[in-house]
Amino acid sequence: MNWLAEIIKHSPALIVAVPLLGAFLTPLVGMINEKVRNIFALVMISITGFFIALLASDVYANGPRIYVFGAQNLALPVVRILFEVDSLSIFMAIVTFILAFVALVYSWSFMKENDGLDKYYTLVLLLVTSTLGMELTGDIFNFFVFLEISCISSCALIAFWVHKGEALEAAFKYIVISSIGALFVLFAIGIFYAQYNALNIATLANVIQFTFLDKIALVLLVVVLGMKAGLVPMHMWLPDSYGQAPPSVTIVIIGATQASLYGVFRMCFTLYSGAFKNVVISESTIGLIIIMLAILTILIGVLMALIQTDFRRLIGFVAVAEIGYIFLTIGVGLVTLHDPNMITVGKTAMNGGIFHIINDCLDIGLLFLSAGAIYYATKETSLNEMGGLARNMKYTTIFFLIGLLAVSGIPPMNGFASKLLIYQSTYQLNPIISIVAILASIMLLAIFVKVFYSAFLGPKISKFENVKEVPKSMLIGMGVFACIIIFFGLFPNIVIHHLVEPAVNVLMNNAQYISAVLGGV
């Protein structure tokens, strides 16, 4: 059908344009009434999801799709931006859509009593736009622009409960560290432009020489994006922000954090992959540095989570530890992929890492939503003050239990499958890394046993006698995550074959990415 082909052709632009348009129209629609505004935001996200689904079917069937904004003719001194959507980009877009959709469904009841919801929905849609933009763009300067939009909208959302001083403080810290990081990204982009007169990732990947300046740019990009993703010891902003933002948007902020992680994958395996081929030592060096930081991230994440008494801050530290697992796979990939004898190890690690991205979003997301449900019902965030809530909140208890089993990597949940791939691949590189990763997972289980016991079990507490289960929209939000977690846990092969492996293949073969742009436009 021609119309369908036309829609698919313009999908890369529409995926970003629809939530952006939705963001600016939301205050206007909000003037009609609140219900219409909420439905409007949900419809805009659903339409975005529809375009993502169409584009995904096309990308998985026909390979990367290029979309050109601006001049088509390269011969002229032109202004143009490319979107290049491959299996990795569309995988990340699917993750972002799931998070955004659930966030909006959950927000319906969770944010009902709050003021300024027009701004809230505008900011959520802007954050989704920026995250999708970072994931779909093929232009490094454009990536920076979306990164900045993401920083600003995330900051405003973290500070949304402005009446709480802590929220404002967390937002301030976030914007300080993010702005400084973004400036370093801009500096790295300047280095590329000065040397190669290009900003397109594929063009840069084709000509990059791994000069002294390129090495500087690599360090700047990896460190900044690592910081944005929550790599220890640059992670301190993350528990502050995750702990203070409304839980309904924390999951969208998690999506934005994962987009930074996507940036690390893209820079290391697409932009610099060709350059690394000539300088193996540097690839291994940066890989080993990432592995060391990843181990530190996992250990400090779990150790700090263990002593937290604030529910959401605790989950924030667990999120840090989970990020460590993904960085571990990046490091293992960089160390092993250039060695023909170790390439299988590298591929297994990358499969585990990419699969863990979606699992991490779902598991941590479900835990945050459960924490939000408890806050909604009890107005309490301190674990010391909680107890016996399983009597009053049966569904939330079940959802939390699913989340805790998944994040601790207990079979048959989704976290087990991805962590198994990570353990196996790291074991073959160095068994000690694998042992640390397994021990950290056991500690995660111990942490959540404590949380489960403190919050849900134990005797009835008199002040919670009248506590009721949360409204349906919040239960639906948590239910969606729980269903996907169980499905991914029971049938991991489906996800790995259809979503993860194509993304890993793209990362392992940057020639496909380069030729799609240079040979296709």
Q: Kindly identify the residues of this chain, within the stretch 461-480, that bind other proteins according to CB under 8 A.
A: 461-462
Stretch that binds other proteins, among 80-88, 195-203, 361-369, 376-384 (CB under 8 A): 376-384
DSSP string, 85-143: E-HHHHHHHHHHHHHHHHHHHHHHHHTTT-S-HHHHHHHHHHHHHHHHHHHHB-BHHHH
The residue among 58 and 380 lying less far from other proteins, judged by its C-beta, is 380
Size of the site for other proteins (CB under 8 A): 71
Evaluate whether 256 touches 319 at the Cβ level (below 8 Å). no
Question: Is there binding between residue 233 and other proteins (CB under 8 A)?
Answer: yes
CA distance 8 to 52: 9
CA nearest neighbour of 84 among 253, 200, 184: 200
The residue among 70 and 459 lying less far from other proteins, judged by its C-beta, is 459
Structure token pair of residue 122: 């505008």
CA nearest neighbour of 294 among 425, 147, 489: 425
Q: Kindly identify the residues of this chain, within the stretch 396-455, that bind other proteins according to CB under 8 A.
A: 411-412, 416-417, 420-421, 424-425, 428, 446, 450-451, 453-454
Question: Is there binding between residue 388 and other proteins (CB under 8 A)?
Answer: yes
CA distance 130 to 125: 9
CA distance 113 to 395: 22
Q: Kindly identify the residues of this chain, within the stretch 110-169, that bind other proteins according to CB under 8 A.
A: 169
Q: Kindly identify the residues of this chain, within the stretch 193-222, that bind other proteins according to CB under 8 A.
A: 212, 215-216, 218-220, 222
The residue among 157 and 443 lying less far from other proteins, judged by its C-beta, is 443
The residue among 34 and 169 lying less far from other proteins, judged by its C-beta, is 169
Contacts with 45 (C-beta within 8 Å, 6 or more apart), sequence order: 19, 22, 97, 100, 101, 104, 125, 128
Shortest distance, position 239 Cβ to other proteins, whole Å:
8
Kindly write out the interface string for residues 444-463 of this chain, putting x where it contacts other proteins by CB under 8 A and - elsewhere.
--x---xx-xx---xxxxx-
Question: Is there binding between residue 286 and other proteins (CB under 8 A)?
Answer: yes
Figure out which of the listed residues 173, 198, 395, 521 binds other proteins, where binding follows CB under 8 A: 173
Shortest distance, position 416 Cβ to other proteins, whole Å:
8
Q: Kindly identify the residues of this chain, within the stretch 56-115, that bind other proteins according to CB under 8 A.
A: none
Q: Specify the long-range contacts of residues 169-172, CB closer than 8 Å, at least 24 apart.
A: 169/240, 169/244, 170/237, 170/240, 170/241, 170/243, 170/244, 170/245, 171/241, 171/244
